[in-house]
């Protein structure tokens, strides 16, 4: 355990940021999964709706630094390609 006051504070901040990042990443993965499941089921309406929810959230995750901006771009590109294949 940390002995200095500043180290204790740093541990608290790291825990809070880690929890926030985990939440954002998990939610993003859920949205991506919903798009993939809708495409697999062949439901284009549901897939488009899920894509409209997923894209802004992926961008949000990139802007927060949870994922790299190139990774976000790649995810969006792959989902778009998958959706256009329907």
**Is the separation of the CB atoms in 82 and 37 below 8 Å?**
no
| Domain region containing 22 | 5-84
**Contact between 35 and 77 (Cβ < 8 Å):** no
Domain count, the chain: 1
Read off the CATH number of the domain in which 74 is found: 1.20.58.110
> Radius of gyration (Cα) for the chain, nearest Å?
17
Write out the two tokens for 4: 């200095």
- Mean pLDDT split into 10-residue runs, the chain, 86 residues: 89 97 98 97 95 97 97 98 93
pLDDT of amino acid 86: 85
What three-state secondary structure class fits 42? coil
Q: SS3 of 4, please?
A: coil
């Amino acid at each position: 355990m940390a002995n200095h006051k500043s180290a204790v504070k740093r541990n608290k901040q790291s825990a809070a940021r880690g929890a926030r990042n985990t939440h954002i990443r998990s939610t993003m993965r859920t949205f991506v999964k919903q798009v993939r499941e809708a495409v697999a089921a062949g439901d284009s309406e549901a897939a488009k709706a899920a894509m409209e929810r997923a894209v802004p959230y992926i961008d949000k995750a990139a802007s927060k630094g949870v994922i790299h901006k190139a990774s976000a771009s790649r995810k969006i590109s792959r989902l778009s390609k998958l959706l256009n294949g329907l």
